[in-house]
Structure 1
Amino acid sequence: MVLGSVPAALFAQDTVRNALPRVVLSEDGKGFQLEDTEQPFYVWGVNYDHDRDGRLIEDYWQDEWPTVEEDFAEMKSLGLNVVRIHLQLAKFMTSASEPNQQNLQKLADLVNLAERTKLYLNVTGLGCYHKQDVPAWYDELSEADRWQVQANFWQAVAATCKDSPAIFCYDLMNEPVLGGGKEPKQWLVGPPLGDKYFVQRLTTDMAGRDNKEVAAAWVKKLTDAIREVDSHTLITVGVIPWAHVWPNAKPVFYSPEASAPLSFVSVHFYPESGKLDKAVEALKIYDIGKPLVIEEFFPLKCSLEEADTFLIEVRPITAGLTSFYWGTTPKEYRQQKSIQGAILADWLDYFQQHAPAKPTR
C-alpha cells in the first residue's frame, strides 16, 4: 500500500520535464548515462544539507522558499548537475504510518524547482540529524517496527518523486552503522558534529547476527518498499569507508551479501594530508563493478593541492563527486575576510572550474 503521494499534476509541465532526460546506468553497469542516449553522465554535485546558519531545509522551506530558489540558481551557476538533499524522518512521518502531507507537498515543489533549474536530486532520507526533532515514539520502537516506519517513509517519498526525471537517486540513509561502539543501545551515534548527529544505528541488538546479515536484511526491506511504487529510480546508501580507518576492513553494505539491490556505491571520503596513497587504496576496495560515487568530499584534512592530486588519481574508477554548498557564494565568502571564508571560496572556485562538460541534450 502506498502511504502517501503528491499528484503528478503538481510537478512541472510535460514540456519542461521532457527537456530533462533521466540518468540511468550505463550499458556496462559501471557508470551513468542519459537515458536513450550514449552520453555519459558524471555526477558533479553538492550536499545541500543545511544553510549558512545550520538550519535543515525543512526548517525554512515553508517560510523562505525564495531562498531555496536562489540557492538552486547559485548551485546551477557553479556548474553542478546533482544536489543532495537530506530529509529528516520526523518531518515526513507524523506517526508510524501517516506521512506528513504538507512536507510531501513541499518536496514536490522542490522536485519541480529541480526540473526547472535542470538539476538532479539525490534524495537522502531517514535523517535524525537534530536529536530534538526525533519523536519519543520512534526511539521507543523495536528494531522491526522502526524498520517498518523507515519503509513507510520511503514509500511515501518515492510515490511523491517517482514520476520526475529530476530524481537521480534515493539514498536510503546517511552513514548507517550496526551494533557495538559506545552507548550501543542508543540509535544515534555521537558525539554530534556541531548540533547534528549524522551517524545512525540500524539495530541496538545484534542478537547473534553478523553485520552483513543485518545490513542485507535492512537494504532488502527498504529497497523492496521503494520498488513497490518506483521500479526505475537508482538506489544507493552513503557509507563511512571503514577501510580508510582500518586498512583490512571490508565493505558491509557493499558486500556481495548486501549490495545486490543497490544501483551504485556511495562513500564519504576526507583524505588526510601526507596520506593520499592510503586514501586511494581504501577507495579501490569499493570498486566492486558498480558505479562508484564519492558522495561527500571536502579538503577538510588536506590542502587544495592534495585534494586535486587525489581526485585526479581516482577519476578513472569513479562515476561522480559530491561536495558541499551551504547557501554562500565564493564572492560572499571572500567578503567575510576570514581564513575560513577564503578556504571555502577557493574550494568552490576549484569545484566550478573543474565541472565536467555540460550535456549537449
Structure 2
Amino acid sequence: MASRATLLVVFSSRLLVLLLLTGESWAADIESVRIAPDKKEFVLFPSGSRYTPWGHNYASVDLLKRLAQNDARVEREFAEMKAAGATVARIHPEMPRILTAPGKADPQALDQLKRLLQLAENSGIHLQITGLACYKIEDRQAWYDGMDEQDRWKTQAFFWETIAQTCAESPAVFAYDLVNEPVAFGKRAEGWYTGRMGGVEFCQRLSLDPGNRTGDDVFREWTKRMVAAIRKHDQTHLITMGMLPFPGVYTAAAEELDFVSPHLYPKSEKVDDEIKLLQKFDWGKPIVIGETFPLSCGADDERAFLLKSRGYAHGWIGHWPDKSPAELAELKRAGRATIQDAIWLSWVDLFQEIGPQMIGETSK
C-alpha cells in the first residue's frame, strides 16, 4: 500500500493537470447513464460503455449557498473529486432555497442549479440530485411545514417538476434521488422530521395522518406521485431513493424506482453482517450504496466491506471532506490533524487506493 505522502504527490499531480484544463477547454464529452440490458449495472448512452458510480456526497447542508458565495471553491472541489477518481457526486440542493412560496420557485436558485450542471458536465462527474432537503432546522419555512399531507405532497411534486424541467436536457444527471432516508409516517406531535444531528435533521416522515394505510401504502402512493411529477418533463434520467438500512420498509417504494440506494455504514469487525444486510436489498434492480464511510469502523473494515460488496452493489458513494485532501495531508504531516481530520484523510486515501478495483469488473 502506498504511503500517504506518495498518494498526495499522485493526487496533486492529477489535480494540477485538471486545474490547468479548467474553463471551456475542460468540457468533458459526458454521456447520459442508462440501466444496462442485464438490469444489474449501468451503461453510458450512446456508447454503451460500462458506467460505475463511484464518488461522494458533496456539501450536504449548504450547497447552493456555497456556490453563490464561492463559485471558485465549488469548481476547485469538483476538480479535486475528479482527480481522486470520482465519477459521481450526490448533491442536496436545499428545498428552502429552491421554493419561495407554494408553487413558486426562485429563478436565482435554478440558475445556481444550472451552474452545477455545467460544472458537472465540464468535470465529467455525474450528479445524483437528492430532493426535498430541509436539513438545517433554522432554514425551514413555516408555510411548508404547516401544510397538511396532501398540500405537502403537492408541493413536493412541484419541487420535482421544477428540478426535472431544469435538468432534463443535461447528460450530467445520473439520477434523481427522491428524498433522503424517508419514514412512512409518524405521530403529528413528532413532526415531519427526524434523524437529528446537532442543528440538522436528515430524515423526513411522509405522512402524519396515515389513517388505515400501511407503510407500504404510503410509500407506494407517494413514490408514484413523485415519479409521475419527474416524468412530466424528463423521461430518461434514472430515479432512486436514499434508504435507511431497513430493507423491509422500502419494498413498495422500490417497485417504482430504477435502482435502489441503501445507506450502509459497516461496524468494526462486523463486515459480514453488513454484507448480509446489503443482500436483502436485492430486488432485481441495480444497487448503489448511496452513503458509506468509516464512521463506525476503521479504514480496514471499510475497505473489506467495499471490496466484498462488489458482487451485490454496482455503485458506491462516500462523503467528501470540507477540507481539501492536500490540506488534510499537510495537517497530518505537521502533527496538527484532529481525530476527525485523520478519519477524513483515511477515507480519501482509501477511496484513491481501491478506486480502480471498484470501477473495474465486479465479482463476488
TM-superposition CA deviations, 1:286-322 (whole Å, max 9, x none): 0111110110000111121111111121111111100
Superposed displacement of residue 49, structure 1: 2.9
- 2:306 matches 1:311: yes
**Alpha carbon RMSD of aligned pairs, Å?**
2.1
Superposed CA deviations along residues 313-358 of structure 1, whole A, max 9, x for unmatched, are: 1111111100001332233113142232122112101101222388
CA distance in 2, matches of 1:325, 1:166: 19
Report the CA distance between 1:184 and its aligned residue: 5.1
CA distance in 1, matches of 2:65, 2:48: 40
Matched, 1:21 2:31: yes
Give me the whole-angstrom Cα distance separating, in 1, the residues matched to 2:340 and 2:139: 30
2:59–2:322: 8 Å Cα contact kept in structure 1? no
2:267 corresponds to which residue? 272
1:330 aligns with 2:334: no
Cα separation, partners in 2 of 1:118 and 1:132, compared to 1, 3 Å: same
SS state of the match for residue 309, structure 2? helix
Counterpart of 1:175 in structure 2: which amino acid? E
Match of 1:90 in 2: 96
Structure 2 equivalent of residue 46 of structure 1: 56
Distance in 2 between residues matched to 1:49 and 1:213, nearest whole Å: 33
- 2:356 and 2:281 map into 1 onto residues whose CA distance is 23
Instruction: Give the match for residue 4 of structure 2.
Output: none
Residue type matched to 2:266 in 1?
A: P
User: Which of 214-223 and 322-331 deviates more?
Assistant: 322-331
* 2:127/2:173 contact within 8 Å kept: yes
Is the Cα contact below 8 Å between 1:42 and 1:356 reproduced in 2?
Answer: no
CA drift at 1:100: 0.9
Residue matched to 1:105: 111
1: CA distance, partners of 2:138 / 2:347: 32
Residue 41 of structure 2 aligns with an amino acid whose one-letter code is: G
Match of 2:246 in 1: 242
| Identity value in percent | 37
2:294 pairs with 1:299: yes
Specify the alignment match of 2:350 in structure 1: 350
Number of aligned positions between the proteins = 332
Q: Which runs of 4+ in 1 moved over 6 A?
A: none
AA matched with 1:204: L
Structure 1 match to 2:40 = 30
Shift of 1:277: 2.0
Q: Which residue of 2 aligns with 1:247?
A: none
**Any idea what SS the aligned residue of 1:172 has?**
strand
Query: What is residue 279 of structure 2 aligned with on the other side?
Result: 284
Alpha carbons 1:331, 1:345 under 8 Å: kept: no
Q: For each residue in 1:88-121, what CA deviation from the matched residue of structure 2 results, as whole angstroms up to 9, or x when unmatched? A: 2111111110111110011001101111111100
Compared CA separation, residues 338 and 259, structure 1 to 2 (3 A): closer
Structure 1 unaligned spans of 5+: 1-11, 244-249
Q: Counterparts of 2:106 and 2:158 in 1: how far apart (Å)?
A: 11
Q: How does 1:180-199 map to 2 (within 5 A)?
A: 180=186, 185-190=190-195, 192-199=196-203
Q: What amino acid is the match of 1:159?
A: Q
Moved more, 57-66 or 313-322: 57-66
Aligned-pair CA distance for 1:29: 1.0
TM-score w.r.t. the length of structure 2 is 0.87
Superposition map of 1:226-241 within 5 A: 226-241=230-245
Q: 2:143 aligns with which of 137, 143, 147?
A: 137
Tell me how far 1:166 sits from its aligned partner. 0.3
**Aligned partner of residue 68 in structure 1, secondary structure:** helix
Deviations 1:128-177 (A, max 9, x none): 10111111110110101000100101111111111010000000000111
Alignment check: 8 A CA contact 2:186 2:207 kept: no
- Equivalent of 1:263 in 236, 258, 261: 258
Whole-angstrom CA distance in 2 between matches of 1:310 and 1:60: 32
Comparing 265-274 and 326-335, the one that deviates more? 326-335
- Post-superposition offset of 1:30: 0.9
What secondary structure does 2:344 align onto? helix
Which residue in the other structure is 1:7 paired with?
A: none
Give the conservation status (yes or no) of the 8 Å contact 2:294–2:343. no
Q: Distance in 2 between matches of 1:268 and 1:321?
A: 10
Match of 1:212 among 210, 216, 225: 216
Q: What is the CA-CA distance between 1:56 and the residue it aligns to?
A: 0.7
Question: Is the contact between residue 71 and residue 327 of structure 1 (CA under 8 Å) also seen in structure 2?
Answer: no
Q: Deviations over 1:232-282 (max 9, x none)?
A: 000000010125xxxxxx2x33x2x43232110001001111222221111
Matched residue of 1:107: which SS?
A: helix
- CA shift for structure 1 position 16: 4.7
2:176 aligned counterpart, secondary structure? strand
Residue 9 (structure 2) aligns with: none
User: Does residue 1:161 correspond to 2:171, yes or no?
Assistant: no
Q: Contact 1:185–1:205 (CA<8 Å) still a contact in 2?
A: no
